[in-house]
C-alpha cells in the first residue's frame, strides 16, 4: 500500500514504516486506527498529514514520536527500531530526537513562557537558550508571561519554541492551528516554516485543514487508517499566502 | 533551581489550603508523638539519674522490730551488695493554721554521715544534727503546700507523745518521687508528708534503740531479686516481717512505671491515627492533583522526561507537605512537652527535670511520617509515572455512574434531583466515601478517647467514694485494739455512727502465684463501708469464706469456690486455707474481705480491731479532728471529702491539658478531612455545579448538593467515631489495668455530645470556607476549562 515518494529531495530516510497497524480495544469494541501503513519520511522535509477525524493521523504521529506503540508492523527512526523499543528506550528517543507541538498547546500553567521552554532544555544534550527559541517564534518580549496571560496563538508559539529548543531532529505537530483563528494560525505556521527552513528539522504537521497542505514539501492523505495518496508540492506556498 | 521544581512550588502554592490542612494533621501526629515520647524519655532519664546519684535501693522490707545485729546476717545473703537499716514510723502531724488531719512517714537518717541508700536530696537548709530529737527535714511537696521554711515548726505525735519539731531542711528522695500514702490513689501534699529525723532520736522515741523496723538493700550484678527476697523473708519472719519486695513493687516507682506505660500506650495509639489519616488525605489529594495534571505529565513525558523524573516530582510534592508538617509538629510538640513536663514535676518530685527533645525522637517522628506518607501516595505516584503519554493526553474517561442502592429502596418521587446526585456521588466511590467517613470518625474518636479518662475518674469516684465508702472518716489505730475502742469514738461530740474493721497484712497464694495485700474484716450489718459484687449489688462476706477484688481472677487466677492459701504477716503468723466465696467490684487496689468475727477467730485473737469508720456532723469536724489527734491509739485519720477534693485537684491540671490537646487535635483532623474532601469535590465537580448554575439553579441549591455530601459523610462518621473512641478507650484501659487500679470504660453522654459538636463544627467551618469559593464560581471560565 502507498506509493514510494520519489523526489527532488536528497533522500536520507529518517522514518521508515512498514505494515504499521494499531488496534485499540475500547470496552467491547475494537477500533482499527491504522491498518497497515508503509511510509518513508526524509531528512529536512516538511510533510503535511491530511485527513478527517478518525483517519489515524494522530495515532501515526504518536507512534512516530514514540508516545505510543504499534500493534503490528515495524517502524524505524534512522537506525533505531521503535517497534521493539522498551519504554525507557522510547523515553530516551523522545528526549534526544523529537519535538512535539499539540493542538491544545499543553503548556504547564504554573510555568512562565521561558520556564516552559526551560523544562525541555534542562534535559536536552545540545539545547539552544530558551530566550533564543522564544525569539525565533517572535516571543522574545514575553518571556516571563504565564500561559494564562498569553493569547492562543502566543501559547502555541511558546509550544513551538519548547519543541524546537532542544534542536530536535524531528518536529511532530498535531493540529497546531486547530484551536486558532486563521490569522493567528498563519503566524504559528510561519514559525514552523522558519524552523524547518533555518534548522533543517524534519517536520510533520497533522491537520484536517487542506489549505495548510500548500506549505508542505509533501502531502500525505490518510483515510480510515490507510494512506490514500501521497503528493509532492512542486511549488510550496509561504504561510502568509494560505487562507482558510 | 530546576524548572520542574519551580512548577512544584507554584503547584504547592496553588493548593496551599489543602497542603496546610494536611500539614496540620501531620503536625498533630508529630506533636503528639514528640510530646509523649520526649516527656517519657526526659522523665525516664531524670528518674534514672536521680535513682543512681541518690542510691535508690533495689529491695525493701518492713518488719515489727529486729536488733541491729541482724543486719550482718542479711548482708551475708548471696546477691546482697549494700544493706541499710532504718527506723520508720507513721505519725500524726499538726501544722499551724491547718485544721485537717495530717499524717506523715518519718524515716531515720544516720546521725553521722549520709545514708548509704535512698539519700535525700537537700533542696534547702541542712540535714538534722547528730543526736537532736527536735529537728526534722521535710519533703519538698509538703513544705510547699504549707509554705514551710527552714526555721518553722511542726507538732508531731510520735508513738503517742507530742513533740515539737523544727524544720531544718527541705528535701526530695528517690524513694518518694511520688509521695503517695499507702492505699491512696493520688498524692496528697497537704495531708501526707515525708520527714527525716536522726536515727538515734527516732529510735528512742519508738522503742527502737539498737533495733530497726525498716530495711533497704542493693543487689550485686546478676543477683536474682526473688531469691534474695525469699531468704530475707525467711530471716525476718521471726521479727514480724511484712514481706520484702523488689524495687518494681515499690510504691513511688510503681506509679512512675505505670505513668510511663500510659505515655507509651498513648504514643502508640494517637500518632498512628494521625499518620494514617494524613496518609489517606495525601493519597486523595495527590491522586486528584495527578489526575488534573494528566496532560502536563503527558507533555513532560513526550519531551523525554523519564518515569523516575515524574515519580520523583510528585514524591517531592508529598515530601514538602510532610516536611512542613514535621517541622511544625516538632516545634509544637516540644512546646507542649515543656508544658506537660511542668505538670509532671508538680506530680512527680524530681530535683530537676531535663526536658529535651532527643534528636532520635525527632528523627523517628520524621522518618515514620515520611515513610507513611510516601507509602500512602505510592500507588498514585506510580500510576502517574507509568501513564503512557499518548493516553495521558486524552482526557480521563467520564465517570461511570449508576442508580444507587438507596434509590432503589426509596420511591423515586421522594428524591429530588440534587439528592440523587449526592447519593450517586457517594455510592460511585464507596471506598473513598468510607475512608472519608473513617477519617472524620477518627476526629470524633480522638475527642472521645481524649476525654475518656475524666469520665472514668468521675465514675471511679462515684463508685468508690459514694457507693462503697460512705463513711466521713476512717480512723486507724496504732496497733490492733479491743473492739471497745468504738465506744470511746462514739463519745466524741459530733460522731453520729461508728463501725469497726480489722485489717491484717497477708500474702495470698494460689497455685504458684502469690500477692501481698491485706484482708479486711468487716461487721455483718455495716452501713458505712459497703461491698459491691460484680454487678454492683450490695454483698456481705459470709462467715466461712473470703470475698476478693475481681482483679484477683487475673492476678492469681482464682475463682469463687477455690481454696486460697493465706499467710498472715502479723501476730502468730498463721497460714490458713480460706474458701473464696465471691468476687467484688473495686477499681483501686486489691484486697480480701471477711466477716470480722471469722477473721478474729482465724487469727485466734479475740475481738481485735484495726480502725473505725465514722460518720459525723460536719459542723463538728474540726473538733473531732482535734480530739482524734490527741488520742494516743489513733495513728491517723482519712477524711473522705478531703480525699475526693485532693484527687480532683491533683488531676485537674493534667486533665485540662489533655482535654485541650485532644480538642485541638480532633478539630485538626475533622478540618483536614472535611476541607480536603470539599476542595476535591469542588475541583472534580466545579464544572457540573457551574453547569447547574447556568441551568438556573441557585447558589443555595448547588451548595446543598455540594455540602449535602459532606454533611452526610460527617453525620455517618459520628456514630462510627463513638464506637472507635470507645474501642480506643477500652484498649487503653485494658492495657493499663494492674493491681494498682483498673480504669472502667465509662463514657459520659456529655463527652459524646461534646465530641460530636467539635466534629460537626469543624466540618461546618471548613465547608463554609470552601463554599465561599463555590459562591464565586466563574460560570463562563469553568465551562471553558477542559476537564
Q: Which of A100, A104, A115 sits opposite B302 (nearest CB)?
A: A100
Query: Shortest Cα distance from B295 to chain A (angstroms)?
Result: 7
In this predicted model, what pLDDT tens digit does every residue of B468-506 receive, in sequence order?
Answer: 889 999 999 988 999 888 888 899 999 999 999 999 999
* pLDDT of B784 strictly over 90: no
B3 vs A contacts (CB less than 8 Å): 111, 115, 118-119, 122
Q: CA-nearest residue of chain B to A114?
A: B3
What pLDDT, on a 0 to 100 scale, did the predictor assign at position B200?
95
Contact between A122 and B3 using a beta-carbon 8 Å cutoff = yes
A24 vs B contacts (CB less than 8 Å): none
Q: Which of B3, B6, B299 sits opposite A106 (nearest CB)?
A: B299
In this predicted model, what pLDDT tens digit does every residue of B229-256 receive, in sequence order?
Answer: 999 999 999 999 999 999 999 999 998 8
State pTM to two decimals.
0.81
Contact between A104 and B295 using a beta-carbon 8 Å cutoff = yes
* pLDDT of B398 strictly over 70: no
* pLDDT of A10 strictly over 50: no
Query: Shortest Cα distance from B380 to chain A (angstroms)?
Result: 19
Q: What is the mean pLDDT of residues A179-183?
A: 84
What pLDDT, on a 0 to 100 scale, did the predictor assign at position A53?
85
Contact between B7 and A110 using a beta-carbon 8 Å cutoff = yes
In this predicted model, what pLDDT tens digit does every residue of A78-113 receive, in sequence order?
Answer: 989 999 888 888 888 988 899 988 888 888 888 899
A67 vs B contacts (CB less than 8 Å): 301-302, 388-390, 393
Local confidence band at B412 (pLDDT 50, 70, 90 cut-offs): low
Contact between B7 and A120 using a beta-carbon 8 Å cutoff = no
Q: What is the mean pLDDT of residues B585-609?
A: 91
* pLDDT of A182 strictly over 60: yes
B385 vs A contacts (CB less than 8 Å): none
Q: What is the mean pLDDT of residues B29-41?
A: 91
Local confidence band at A2 (pLDDT 50, 70, 90 cut-offs): very low
Contacts made by residues B742-746, CB under 8 angstroms, sequence distance 24+ = B742/B551, B742/B587, B743/B453, B743/B456, B743/B460, B743/B587, B744/B456, B744/B459, B744/B460, B744/B463, B744/B587, B745/B452, B745/B456, B746/B455, B746/B456, B746/B458, B746/B459
Judge whether B390 is closer than 8 Å to chain A, CB to CB: yes
Q: Which of B304, B390, B786 sits opposite A96 (nearest CB)?
A: B304
DSSP state, B128?
P
Torsion of CA B184, B186, B190, B192, to 10 degrees: 40
Nearest-5° Cα angle at A22, A19 to A26: 160
* pLDDT of B394 strictly over 80: no
Interface test with A, best of B2, B3, B395 (most A CBs within 10 A): B3
Chain pair A-B, CB pairs under 8 angstroms: 83
* pLDDT of B268 strictly over 70: yes
* pLDDT of B116 strictly over 90: yes
Least confident of A180-189, B31-40, B116-125: A180-189
What pLDDT, on a 0 to 100 scale, did the predictor assign at position B407?
64
Query: Shortest Cα distance from A96 to chain B (angstroms)?
Result: 7
What pLDDT, on a 0 to 100 scale, did the predictor assign at position A9?
41
Contact between A67 and B307 using a beta-carbon 8 Å cutoff = no
What is the secondary structure of chain A as a DSSP string?
A: -------SS---EEEEEEEEEEEEEETTEEEEEEEEEEEEEETT-EEEEE--TTSSHHHHHHHHTTSS--SEEEEEETTEESTT--HHHHHHHHHHHEEEE-TT----TTS-HHHHHHHHHTT-SSPPPHHHHHHHTT-TT-TT--GGGS-HHHHHHHHHHHHHTT--SEEEEESTTTTS-HHHHHHHHHHHHHHHHHH--EEEEEES-GGGGGG-SEEEEEETTEEEEEEE-SSPPPGGG---
Local confidence band at B426 (pLDDT 50, 70, 90 cut-offs): confident
What percent of chain A clears pLDDT 90, i.e. is strictly above it? 44
What pLDDT, on a 0 to 100 scale, did the predictor assign at position A7?
40
* pLDDT of B640 strictly over 80: yes
Q: CA-nearest residue of chain A to B13?
A: A110
3-state secondary structure B445-457: HHHHHHHHHHHHH
Q: What is the mean pLDDT of residues B341-348?
A: 84
Cα-based distances in Å from B169 to A59, A180, B135, B217, B353: 93, 92, 9, 25, 21
In this predicted model, what pLDDT tens digit does every residue of A192-201 receive, in sequence order?
Answer: 998 899 889 9
Q: Which of B302, B305, B307 sits opposite A65 (nearest CB)?
A: B302
Cα-based distances in Å from A51 to A205, B32, B39, B768: 11, 64, 73, 51
Q: CA-nearest residue of chain A to B11?
A: A110
B306 vs A contacts (CB less than 8 Å): 88, 91, 95
Local confidence band at B286 (pLDDT 50, 70, 90 cut-offs): confident
Q: Which of A87, A88, A111 sits opposite B3 (nearest CB)?
A: A111
B305 vs A contacts (CB less than 8 Å): 91, 95, 123
Local confidence band at A12 (pLDDT 50, 70, 90 cut-offs): confident
Q: Tell which phi-psi region holds residue B160, choosing left (phi > 0), alpha (psi between -120 and 50) or beta.
A: left
Contact between B300 and A119 using a beta-carbon 8 Å cutoff = yes
Least confident of A5-14, B194-203, B422-431, B440-449: A5-14
What pLDDT, on a 0 to 100 scale, did the predictor assign at position B756?
93
Q: Which of B6, B14, B393 sits opposite A115 (nearest CB)?
A: B6
Judge whether B302 is closer than 8 Å to chain A, CB to CB: yes
Interface test with A, best of B299, B312, B391, B787 (most A CBs within 10 A): B299
Contact between B304 and A115 using a beta-carbon 8 Å cutoff = no
Judge whether B708 is closer than 8 Å to chain A, CB to CB: no
Judge whether A96 is closer than 8 Å to chain B, CB to CB: yes
Most confident residue range from A48-52, B625-629, B650-654, B660-664:
A48-52
* pLDDT of A244 strictly over 80: no
Judge whether B784 is closer than 8 Å to chain A, CB to CB: no
Q: What is the mean pLDDT of residues B624-643?
A: 87
What pLDDT, on a 0 to 100 scale, did the predictor assign at position A218?
95
Judge whether B305 is closer than 8 Å to chain A, CB to CB: yes
Q: What is the mean pLDDT of residues B362-380?
A: 88
Mean pLDDT of chain A: 87
What pLDDT, on a 0 to 100 scale, did the predictor assign at position B496?
92
Decide which of B207 and B709 is more confident: B207
Local confidence band at A1 (pLDDT 50, 70, 90 cut-offs): very low
Judge whether A122 is closer than 8 Å to chain B, CB to CB: yes
What pLDDT, on a 0 to 100 scale, did the predictor assign at position B255?
87
Cβ proximity of A36 and A20 under 8 Å: yes
Query: Shortest Cα distance from B14 to chain A (angstroms)?
Result: 9
A100 vs B contacts (CB less than 8 Å): 299, 302-303
Q: What is the mean pLDDT of residues B649-655?
A: 77
Predicted ipTM of the assembly: 0.76
In this predicted model, what pLDDT tens digit does every residue of B733-756 receive, in sequence order?
Answer: 888 888 888 889 999 999 999 999
Judge whether B97 is closer than 8 Å to chain A, CB to CB: no
Q: What is the mean pLDDT of residues B19-30?
A: 91
What pLDDT, on a 0 to 100 scale, did the predictor assign at position B403?
63
Q: CA-nearest residue of chain B to A117?
A: B3
What pLDDT, on a 0 to 100 scale, did the predictor assign at position B414?
67
Residue A236, number of CB atoms within 10 A of its CB: 13
Q: What is the mean pLDDT of residues B681-709?
A: 78
What pLDDT, on a 0 to 100 scale, did the predictor assign at position B677?
82
* pLDDT of B336 strictly over 50: yes
* pLDDT of B546 strictly over 90: yes
Domains and CATH numbers, chain A: 44-69+87-241 (3.40.50.300)
* pLDDT of B569 strictly over 50: yes
What pLDDT, on a 0 to 100 scale, did the predictor assign at position A3?
36
Least confident of A226-240, B62-76, B525-539, B701-715: B701-715
What pLDDT, on a 0 to 100 scale, did the predictor assign at position A47?
95
What is the spatial distance between Cα B579 and Cα B559, in angstroms, rounded to a whole number?
Answer: 10
A88 vs B contacts (CB less than 8 Å): 306-307
Judge whether A143 is closer than 8 Å to chain B, CB to CB: no
* pLDDT of A48 strictly over 50: yes
Cβ proximity of B651 and B659 under 8 Å: no
Contact between A91 and B304 using a beta-carbon 8 Å cutoff = yes
B389 vs A contacts (CB less than 8 Å): 67-68
Mean pLDDT of chain B: 88
DSSP state, B113?
S
Query: Shortest Cα distance from A89 to chain B (angstroms)?
Result: 10
Judge whether A244 is closer than 8 Å to chain B, CB to CB: no
What pLDDT, on a 0 to 100 scale, did the predictor assign at position B395?
58
> For residue B471, what is the enclosing H or E element?
none
Judge whether A129 is closer than 8 Å to chain B, CB to CB: no
In this predicted model, what pLDDT tens digit does every residue of A136-145 receive, in sequence order?
Answer: 888 999 999 9
What is the spatial distance between Cα B488 and Cα B477, in angstroms, rounded to a whole number?
Answer: 13
* pLDDT of B374 strictly over 80: yes
Amino acid at each position: 500500500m502507498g506509493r514510494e515518494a520519489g523526489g527532488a529531495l536528497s533522500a536520507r530516510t529518517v522514518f521508515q514504516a512498514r505494515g504499521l497497524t494499531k488496534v485499540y480495544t475500547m470496552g467491547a469494541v475494537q477500533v482499527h486506527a491504522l491498518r497497515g501503513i508503509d511510509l518513508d519520511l526524509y531528512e529536512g522535509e516538511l510533510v503535511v498529514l491530511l485527513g478527517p477525524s478518525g483517519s489515524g493521523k494522530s495515532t501515526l504521529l504518536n507512534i512516530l514520536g514514540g508516545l505510543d506503540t504499534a500493534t503490528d508492523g515495524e517502524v524505524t527512526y534512522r537506525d533505531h527500531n521503535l517497534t521493539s523499543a522498551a519504554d525507557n528506550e522510547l523515553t530516551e528517543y523522545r528526549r534526544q530526537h523529537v519535538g512535539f507541538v499539540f493542538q491544545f498547546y499543553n503548556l504547564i500553567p504554573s510555568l512562565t513562557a521561558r520556564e516552559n521552554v526551560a523544562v525541555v532544555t534542562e534535559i536536552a544534550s545540545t539545547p539552544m537558550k530558551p530566550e533564543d527559541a522564544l525569539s525565533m517564534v517572535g516571543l522574545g518580549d514575553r518571556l516571563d508571561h504565564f500561559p494564562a496571560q498569553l493569547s492562543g496563538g502566543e501559547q502555541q508559539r511558546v509550544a513551538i519554541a519548547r519543541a524546537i529548543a532542544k534542536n530536535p531532529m524531528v518536529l511532530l505537530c498535531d493540529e497546531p492551528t486547530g484551536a486558532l483563528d486563521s490569522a493567528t494560525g498563519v503566524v504559528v505556521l510561519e514559525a514552523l516554516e522558519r524552523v524547518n527552513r533555518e534548522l533543517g528539522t524534519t517536520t510533520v504537521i497533522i491537520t484536517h485543514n487542506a489549505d495548510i497542505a500548500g506549505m508542505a514539501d509533501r502531502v500525505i492523505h490518510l483515510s480510515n487508517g490507510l494512506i490514500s495518496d501521497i503528493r509532492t508540492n512542486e511549488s510550496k506556498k509561504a504561510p502568509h499566502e494560505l487562507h482558510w | 533551581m530546576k524548572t520542574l521544581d519551580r512548577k512544584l512550588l507554584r503547584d504547592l502554592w496553588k493548593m496551599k489550603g489543602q497542603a496546610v490542612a494536611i500539614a496540620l494533621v501531620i503536625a498533630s501526629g508529630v506533636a503528639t508523638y514528640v510530646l509523649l515520647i520526649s516527656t517519657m524519655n526526659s522523665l525516664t532519664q531524670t528518674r534514672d539519674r536521680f535513682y543512681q546519684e541518690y542510691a535508690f535501693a533495689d529491695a525493701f522490707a518492713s518488719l515489727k522490730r529486729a536488733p541491729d545485729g541482724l543486719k550482718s546476717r542479711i548482708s551475708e545473703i548471696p546477691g546482697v551488695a549494700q544493706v541499710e537499716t532504718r527506723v520508720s514510723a507513721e505519725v500524726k502531724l499538726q501544722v499551724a493554721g491547718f485544721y485537717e488531719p495530717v499524717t506523715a512517714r518519718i524515716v531515720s537518717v544516720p546521725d553521722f554521715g549520709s545514708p548509704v541508700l535512698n539519700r535525700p536530696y537537700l533542696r534547702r537548709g541542712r540535714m538534722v544534727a547528730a543526736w537532736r530529737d527536735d529537728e526534722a527535714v521535710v519533703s519538698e511537696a509538703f513544705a510547699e503546700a504549707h509554705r514551710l521554711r527552714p526555721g518553722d515548726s511542726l507538732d508531731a505525735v510520735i508513738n503517742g507523745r507530742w513533740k515539737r519539731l523544727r524544720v531544718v531542711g527541705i528535701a526530695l528522695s528517690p524513694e518518694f518521687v511520688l509521695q503517695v500514702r499507702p492505699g491512696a490513689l493520688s498524692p496528697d501534699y497537704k495531708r501526707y508528708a515525708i520527714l527525716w529525723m536522726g536515727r538515734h532520736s527516732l529510735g528512742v522515741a519508738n522503742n527502737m534503740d539498737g533495733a530497726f523496723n525498716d530495711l533497704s538493700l542493693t543487689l550485686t550484678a546478676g543477683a536474682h531479686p526473688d531469691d534474695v527476697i525469699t531468704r530475707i523473708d525467711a530471716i525476718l519472719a521471726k521479727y514480724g516481717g511484712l514481706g520484702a519486695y523488689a524495687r518494681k513493687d515499690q510504691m513511688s516507682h510503681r506509679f512512675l512505671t505505670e505513668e510511663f506505660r500510659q505515655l507509651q500506650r498513648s504514643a502508640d495509639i494517637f500518632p498512628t491515627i494521625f499518620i494514617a489519616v494524613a496518609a489517606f488525605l495525601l493519597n486523595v489529594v495527590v491522586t486528584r492533583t495527578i489526575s488534573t495534571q494528566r496532560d502536563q505529565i503527558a507533555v513532560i513525558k513526550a519531551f523525554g522526561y523519564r518515569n523516575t523524573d515524574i515519580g520523583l516530582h510528585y514524591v517531592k510534592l508529598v515530601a514538602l507537605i510532610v516536611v512542613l508538617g514535621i517541622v511544625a509538629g516538632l516545634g509544637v510538640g516540644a512546646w507542649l512537652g515543656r508544658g506537660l513536663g511542668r505538670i509532671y514535676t508538680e506530680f512527680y518530685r524530681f530535683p530537676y527535670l531535663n526536658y529535651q527533645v532527643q534528636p532520635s525522637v525527632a528523627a523517628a517522628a520524621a522518618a515514620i511520617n515520611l515513610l507513611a506518607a510516601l507509602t500512602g501516595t505510592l500507588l498514585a505516584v506510580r500510576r502517574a509515572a507509568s501513564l503512557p503519554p499518548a493516553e495521558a493526553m486524552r482526557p480521563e474517561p467520564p465517570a461511570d455512574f449508576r442508580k444507587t442502592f438507596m434509590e432503589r429502596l426509596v420511591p423515586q418521587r421522594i428524591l429530588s434531583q440534587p439528592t440523587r446526585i449526592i447519593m450517586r456521588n457517594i455510592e460511585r466511590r464507596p471506598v473513598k466515601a468510607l475512608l472519608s467517613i473513617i477519617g472524620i470518625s477518627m476526629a470524633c474518636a480522638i475527642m472521645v478517647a481524649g476525654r475518656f479518662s475524666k469520665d472514668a475518674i468521675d465514675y471511679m469516684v462515684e463508685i468508690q467514694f459514694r457507693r462503697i465508702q460512705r463513711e466521713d472518716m476512717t480512723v486507724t489505730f496504732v496497733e490492733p485494739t479491743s473492739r471497745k475502742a468504738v465506744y470511746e469514738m462514739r463519745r466524741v461530740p459530733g460522731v453520729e455512727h461508728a463501725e469497726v474493721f480489722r485489717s491484717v497484712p497477708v500474702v495470698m497464694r494460689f497455685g504458684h502465684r502469690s500477692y501481698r495485700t491485706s484482708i479486711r474484716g468487716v461487721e455483718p450489718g455495716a452501713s458505712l463501708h459497703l461491698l459491691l459484687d460484680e454487678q454492683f449489688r450490695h454483698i456481705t462476706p459470709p462467715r466461712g469464706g473470703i470475698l476478693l477484688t475481681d482483679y484477683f481472677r487475673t492476678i492469681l487466677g482464682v475463682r469463687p469456690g477455690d481454696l486460697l492459701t493465706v499467710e498472715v504477716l502479723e501476730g502468730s503468723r498463721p497460714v490458713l486455707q480460706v474458701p473464696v466465696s465471691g468476687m467484688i467490684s473495686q477499681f483501686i487496689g486489691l484486697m480480701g474481705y471477711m466477716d470480722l468475727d471469722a477473721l478474729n477467730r482465724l487469727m485466734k485473737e479475740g475481738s481485735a480491731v484495726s480502725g473505725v469508720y465514722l460518720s459525723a456532723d460536719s459542723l463538728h469536724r474540726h473538733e473531732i479532728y482535734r480530739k482524734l489527734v490527741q488520742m494516743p491509739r489513733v495513728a491517723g485519720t482519712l477524711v473522705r471529702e478531703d480525699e475526693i477534693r485532693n484527687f480532683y485537684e491533683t488531676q485537674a491540671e493534667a486533665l485540662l491539658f489533655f482535654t485541650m490537646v485532644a480538642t485541638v487535635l480532633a478539630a485538626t483532623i475533622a478540618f483536614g478531612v472535611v476541607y480536603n474532601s470539599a476542595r476535591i469535590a469542588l475541583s472534580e465537580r466545579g464544572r457540573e455545579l457551574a453547569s447547574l448554575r447556568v441551568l438556573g439553579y441557585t447558589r443555595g441549591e448547588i451548595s446543598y448538593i455540594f455540602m449535602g455530601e459532606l454533611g452526610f459523610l460527617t453525620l455517618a462518621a459520628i456514630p462510627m467515631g463513638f464506637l472507635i473512641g470507645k474501642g480506643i478507650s477500652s484498649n487503653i484501659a485494658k492495657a493499663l489495668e494492674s493491681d494498682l487500679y483498673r480504669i472502667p470504660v465509662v463514657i459520659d453522654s456529655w463527652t459524646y455530645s461534646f465530641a460530636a459538636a467539635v466534629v460537626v463544627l469543624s466540618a461546618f467551618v471548613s465547608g463554609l470556607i470552601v463554599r465561599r469559593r463555590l459562591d464565586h464560581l466563574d460560570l463562563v471560565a469553568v465551562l471553558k476549562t477542559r476537564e
